[in-house]
Structure 1
Amino acid sequence: MFAGCTVALATPFRDGAVDEPVLRAWVEWQIAQGTPVISPVGTTGEAPTLSHAEHERVIAIVVETAAGRAKVLPGTGSNSTAEAVRLTKFAANAGADGALLVAPYYNRPSQEGIYRHFAAVAESVDLPIVLYNIPGRTGRNVEVDTVERLAGLGPIVAIKEASGSLDQVSEILVRTDLTVLSGDDSLTLPMLAVGAEGVISVAANLIPQDIAALIREFNAGDLRAARERHARLFPLCRELLGLAPNPVPLKAALALLGRGNGELRLPLCPLDEAALGRLSQALNQYGLLNR
């Protein structure tokens, strides 16, 4: 149910607070662009720096604004199992269509601990759950054996894979029936080639129709068009995810395009002049600054 292009939505701030009018405008823009799934309050949404009340408020606003015109898949993960359960229950009660749960971070649990964490959430709600594996941020890879065990739990329907390993993606696809989604824009086409069904995309904050077109071209068997689009997307995606930790370059790009003020929360800091110049060049080469 979450195949295709999902936008990993950024969270706009103004003077230190969530900018609710801009957030609503961003949701409306995504719907107008035809984005089928919106995923707020994840890594791109700067969830670690939101208070519990802000986290819940963003979920409520996105669900209310989407109003059934797009699915809403909020991030509800935590390194505390009790907090992940609480947030996921809130999302369910708010009317979300699913929940994206990152693996527990910082406390580096064993694979058994990871399994019990996700199982506790799955048992607490009647809501589709998408696992999120990003070991570069969490400090722990959710290993395929663990994913296979979790796939046996009914509410768990998909996994956002950002391990960077096509071998791991392939093994998950061989051993489970989960929908696999790319967690890295630059790997979307390679992952589609081995059986993934979509992406939870940072770049879709800027170019959702182009990300969707890549998936559509691949699914239609037009591999030449998909490869050409991937080649065009790659330099922009590389800068969006490589110049600084996500969502620093994305927020800067949105500001350059007149779609936000670029405000971040510490400990994230704005790009320096050199990095901003590289980002501007990538946006210009893609043609975004001339639209």
Structure 2
Amino acid sequence: MFKGSMVALITPMDNKGNICKKSLKKIINYHIDNKTNAIISVGTTGESATLTRKEHTNVIMHTLEFADEKIPIIAGTGSNATSESILLTKKLEKSGVSGCLSVTPYYNRPTQQGLYLHFKAISENTCLPQILYNVPNRTGCNLLPETIAKLSHYKNIIGLKDASGDLSRINQIKKLVKNDFLLISGDDTTALDFIQLGGIGVISVTANIAANYMTKMCTLALQGDFIKARKINQKLNLLHHLLFKETNPIPIKWATKYVGLIESDSLRLPMTPLLKKNQNILKKVINSINL
């Protein structure tokens, strides 16, 4: 179920900063049409940090409604408080989500024992499949291979999204976990290499506007045709980098509006609009790829 190109979906908002259901429906249909393998709703790219708890749940439920079982939905349910993660995960148990993406607790910088006990507690309080999410440059903590191995013994902890960009971790983790433990890239720039080293796909920011390209690239890579997959990746390489020219999701929100998939690139403070100079650079790249 969880493989290939999976999109870290933006959360569309109107000019007043309210959730825009019309744009959300449009972008979900875009991913269904372009055969994206799964949607991650309200993760980092979905601005989970600035949504209220009610909004967080509502966006996931609207995503399920608009997807209409045509594409799997993975819910972002991570928090820096274990009790909050458990509460949100349990709330979604009968919602229809296919699984949860749970980020390492941010800001409070737990020890490896703290990380282990955090994810263990979530696992023991739900039947939903759990994907661990390691993104140290945003959270201030790094989920180490040995801790991942311990957590992989829990039946419903099924995989890891690794956004560290450190490809050396793949082999380290693979040596410690069972063959069916899913390793998913969380970094578009290294995703193809990640798959070639044994990963099963990517949770992609770029896929928000280049879904067809990302689907084709991942499909080819998983079939072992890395020559053709690399040609696609080379075409997208500059775009991958520019979408992180400013803090995610600032560039991708602007880019998604530019290609006509959402009506507004509105963000909530402390996130700010994409700088004009970066808009011009990104515009040229998007036009050159013919998105």
Q: Is the helix fraction higher in 1 or 2?
A: 1
- Counterparts of residues 103-118 of structure 1 (less than 5 Å): 103-118=104-119
Counterpart in 1 of 2:249?
247
Helix, strand or coil at the partner of 1:73: strand
Query: Greater shift after overlay, 72-81 or 161-170?
Result: 161-170
Which residue identity is paired with 1:159?
A: L
Distance in 2 (alpha carbons) for counterparts of 1:148 and 1:222:
30
2:67 corresponds to: 66
Q: Answer with 168-177 or 46-55: which moved more.
A: 168-177
Task: Give, in angstroms, the shift of residue 25 of structure 1.
Answer: 1.9
3-state secondary structure, aligned to 1:92:
coil
Q: Please list, as runs of the form range in 1=range in 2, the aligned pairs for 1:1-291 lying within 5 A after superposition.
A: 1-14=1-14, 15-177=16-178, 178-241=181-244, 243-260=245-262, 261-288=264-291
After superposition, the C-alpha distances for 1:36-69 in whole angstroms (9 at most, x for unaligned) are: 2111100100000000000000111111221211
- Alpha-carbon distance in 1 for matches of 2:221, 2:17: 41
Q: Distance in 2 between matches of 1:181 and 1:219?
A: 12
Inter-partner Cα distance in structure 2 for 1:287 and 1:170: 36
- Residue 209 of structure 1, CA deviation: 1.5
TM-score, length-scaled by structure 1: 0.96
Report the RMSD for the aligned CA atoms in angstroms: 1.0
CA distance in 1, matches of 2:94, 2:113: 29
Q: Distance in 2 between matches of 1:226 and 1:23?
A: 29
Identify which range, 274-283 or 98-107, moves more after superposition: 274-283
Q: TM-score w.r.t. structure 2 length?
A: 0.96
Map Cα deviations across residues 155-186 of structure 1 (whole Å, 9 max, x no partner). 00010001111111221122113110010111
Aligned to 1:146, the other structure's residue is in SS state helix
Aligned mates of 1:250, 1:149 — CA distance in 2: 35
5+ residue gaps, structure 2, are none
Count, aligned residues: 287
Supply the AA of the counterpart residue of 2:25: R
Q: Post-superposition shift, 1:284?
A: 1.5
Q: Distance in 2 between matches of 1:280 and 1:64?
A: 32
User: Equivalents in 1 of 2:288, 2:220: separation in Å?
Assistant: 22
Comparing 225-234 with 244-253, greater Cα deviation is found at: 225-234
Please state how far the C-alpha of 1:89 moved relative to its aligned partner.
1.0
Indicate conservation of the 8 Å contact 1:128/1:156, yes or no.
Answer: yes
Kindly state the Cα deviation for residue 220 of structure 1 after the two structures are TM-superposed: 2.4
Query: For structure 1, which segment, 269-278 or 40-49, has the greater mean C-alpha deviation from structure 2 after superposition?
Result: 269-278
Could you tell me which amino acid in structure 1 is paired with residue 9 of structure 2? Answer: L
- How big is each residue's C-alpha offset from its partner over 1:234-271, in whole Å with a ceiling of 9 and x where there is no partner? 01111012x10111000111121122211111111111
Taking every aligned residue pair, what percent have the same amino acid on both sides? 38
Contact 1:59/1:94 (CA < 8 Å) preserved in 2?
no
5+ unaligned residues in a row in structure 1: which ranges? none
